[in-house]
Chains A and B, each alone.
Chain A
Amino acid sequence: MIRLIAIFWLVASAAFAVQPDEVLDDPVLEQRARDLSQGLRCPVCRNESIDESNAELSRELRILLRERLVDGDSDDQAVDFLVARYGEFVLLRPDTSGVNVVLWYAAPVMLLIALGIGWSVIRRPAAAPDDLSEAEKAELQKILRS
């Protein structure tokens, strides 16, 4: 069930993902193309990279990407070329510009906060030594009586 809808897109065309006639002769260049295309989204598919997508457009983008690499583009230049035409939508790994900072840093910040809370919870009982200060004793009595 869970992947049902994904499937409809996937088999919309019977073709393969990367097809033999697309593969570049230079293995280093081809590997670069594969690595890059795994990070680029097929614009007409559901959550698929152009590397694994069967759609015709993905095939065109794969060929386009390889053409740019053969022409001597750097990785960034080749990706920017596609982003300029299809928008940041094609980036499967969003950049850290603007509000995307939240996406990238929310979890690490959350981890620090959680560790802080966890630490304070663990330390709390140990931080109560045998002899309390007068103020603490009064506070304690107040809590116990309530």
Chain B
Amino acid sequence: MLNELAHFALILAFGVAIVQMIIPLIGAQRGNVGWMSLAEPAATIQFLLTGFAFAALTWAFVVSDFSLQLVYLNSHTDKPLIYKISGVWGNHEGSMLLWVLILALFGACAGWFGGNLPMRLRARVLAVQGSISVAFLAFLIFTSNPFTRLEFPPLNGRDLNPLLQDPGLAFHPPFLYLGYVGLSMAFSFAVAALIEGRVDAAWGRWVRPWTLGAWMFLTVGIALGSWWAYYELGWGGFWFWDPVENASLMPWLLATALLHSAIVVEKREALKSWTILLAILAFGFSLLGAFIVRSGVLISVHAFAVDPERGMLLLIILGIFLGGSLTLFAFRASAMQSKGVFSTVSRESGLVLNNILLAVSCFVVFIGTMWPLVAEMLFDRTLSVGPPFFDAAFTPFMVGLAIALPLGSMLAWKRGTLERMSKAMAGWLMLAVALAALAYAVQSGGSALGPVGVALGVWVVGGALADLWLRAGRDDLRTKLRRIRNLPRADWGKATAHIGMGVTVFGVAAMLAWQKEDIRIAEIGDRWDMGAFQVQLDAVDQIQGANYVTTMADMSIWRGDRELYTLQPEKRFYPVANMPTTEAAISNGIIRDVYVVIGDPQANGGWAVRTYDKPFANWIWGGCILMALGGLLSLSDRRLRVGAAAAKPVRTGAVPAE
């Protein structure tokens, strides 16, 4: 009964979304206040209805209601409660329901917190948001109904894929979806502005918190996925340039660009039409990502035919939204007159460079991801584009970005001087080069990857610190520190996020350059050298887990005669899903991770064992956390909380004007 009600709620939400799409839009065109003010209650009701459907599905998973096909296929009574809940979105239908729910949530939030928006703009934003809801609710209801019943409910379910029964992956999809779908707000604002025919500083200020929020979630979501791959897949890789990974990286790159160009719109009223285009493309790439992942078109051209209905419908959705908005853009972009004039050496120019590098790097990922498909369809060549291509083609852009970042971020708006900047950065440049030389000496030759990573990391982090220091003006140390403390949170957010970028760049380079690997057959009691440590295989036992059986090894890590700790890598087998998984054991550290994996027993005795020394691995995700934290700090800035309508807060501390 509850499930039928939930299904009905979805259909109702579909109807409400149609109303939300049409009525406020007409109201805004005619200036009819009553019609316009329909948008907010419609968004709220749509959210409540989809929320109810989602809650009902979650409940069905919690109580293991196997009369639902989805629960039967993706759950089991023995599963821990948390994975019953994460099972809701661990499948196609449930994840699309989550997508629709988040879409409705963002729409409702725009209604609730958009009180300071001009009525006309708000009505249009909500109408566009409603139209996206209509598309995806239709997709959900007509091709991916999560509430399909089974005539004869089975006694137990088929279990969730064991690899998804993991804390890292349980929360990876919600974060990613909050990011993907969050970009729909930027899209709605962009399309509303195009309909309106005007973009000004206030628009920039309204659109930024939504972009910032979406970007934050996307950052966390990507980091979670990469961290999960690192500890779960059993050899410590963290990024594979897989099409589905690229599908999340492309919107992230464009969202990062959008974030920065929206600042220019807000502060300087320049780059308007470019910012609008970015907002459209960023969400366009989210849709493209959904299409790539859901249709399976990139796994193989032929996989597309397995379920052509879903893939086709997503392609149509992508075509309508991207085509429609770009057509609108073509007609209206000329109306977006930029006011701000700036010189070649200025913050604006720095941000233009940032946008160029990010957009072109996104293009690299795009062409690399799509090329196998293009080559096969148009040129009849079956080929692969893998990590070696992306490493070669993508990395230069990130290096360029890291080099330019401190320079651009320190320049003054409108007209900057290179002199001020070069004074501040000369010391950091020397430190970066010196540390890179040191790293090169310590590793005694070999690849330049490590030293370059060190130099870029120091350069970017130093740039962020120097930027804060410059903002403190000229005075004695106490006054300077007080001023730095009193800087707006947006400035702290900027510094934190940029430091995070430096940390991640360093972590990636350092780990790739300096990791060590050891593969061997070990008997119980064997001890061998691994970098600065020794590893000893102490025991291997069979143990019964909650819904799996596991082969668990005890491996002790030694330094000289001192035993440091014991790691317990596992090889699990999930009987219901008939699937084995490797659970690597990792000793996490700031300087290095020690990463051990137990493999198969060998025919003539002993076990296959892999041990890794992964230096600075955690810096990769630490940097991502810092980036997201920077976003959060910036989001909590008074300027955004209070909103554009309120006057700028009067500052008593003499913070030099930007």
Binding site for B on A (CB under 8 A): 1-8, 10-11, 14-21, 23, 38-39, 41, 46-49, 52, 87-94, 98-100, 102-104, 106-107, 110-111, 114-115, 118, 121-123, 125-126
Contact = CB atoms under 8 A, between A and B. Distances in A.
B393 to A, nearest CB: 6
Contacts of B173: 1-2
Given A46-B299, A104-B393, A114-B356, 17 more contacts: A1-B172, A3-B242, A4-B164, A10-B233, A11-B579, A14-B571, A14-B600, A16-B600, A52-B235, A87-B382, A91-B383, A92-B384, A100-B383, A102-B367, A103-B368, A106-B367, A118-B356
Contacts of B341: 125
Of B169, B237, B248, chain A has the most CB atoms within 10 Å of the CB of: B169
B27 interface: no
Top 4 A-B residue pairs of the complex, sorted by shortest distance between their CB atoms? A92-B386, A93-B388, A125-B341, A1-B173
Contacts of B24: none
B559 interface: no
A121 B352 contact: yes
25 contacts: A2-B172, A2-B176, A4-B163, A5-B296, A6-B242, A16-B597, A39-B386, A41-B384, A49-B386, A52-B235, A88-B383, A89-B382, A91-B384, A92-B388, A93-B388, A93-B392, A94-B385, A99-B375, A100-B383, A106-B363, A107-B360, A107-B367, A110-B363, A114-B359, A122-B352
Contacts of B385: 92, 94, 103
A125 B62 CA distance: 63
B618 interface: no
B368 A3 contact: no
Contacts of A4: 90, 161, 163-164
A107 B248 CA distance: 19
Contacts, number: 157
B244 A2 contact: yes
A11 B583 CA distance: 12
A52 B237 contact: yes
A15 B382 CA distance: 28
A6 B244 contact: yes
Contact of B384 (A19, A89, A107): A89
Contacts of A94: 371, 383-385, 389
B501 to A, nearest CB: 20
Contact of A99 (B90, B234, B381): B381
A47 B519 CA distance: 23
Contacts of B343: 122, 126
B371 A103 contact: yes
A20 B248 contact: no
A14 to B, nearest CB: 4
B73 interface: no
Interface string B360-400: 10011001100100010001011111111100110001000
Contacts of B519: 16, 18-20, 23
A102 B296 CA distance: 24
A24 B352 CA distance: 51
B344 interface: yes
B225 A2 contact: yes
A90 B233 contact: no
B580 interface: yes
Interface in B479-527: 519-521
B258 to A, nearest CB: 16
Given A5-B299, A19-B519, A39-B388, A89 B383 contact: yes
B79 interface: no
Contacts of A17: 235
Nearest to B400: A111
A37 B393 CA distance: 20
B172 to A, nearest CB: 7
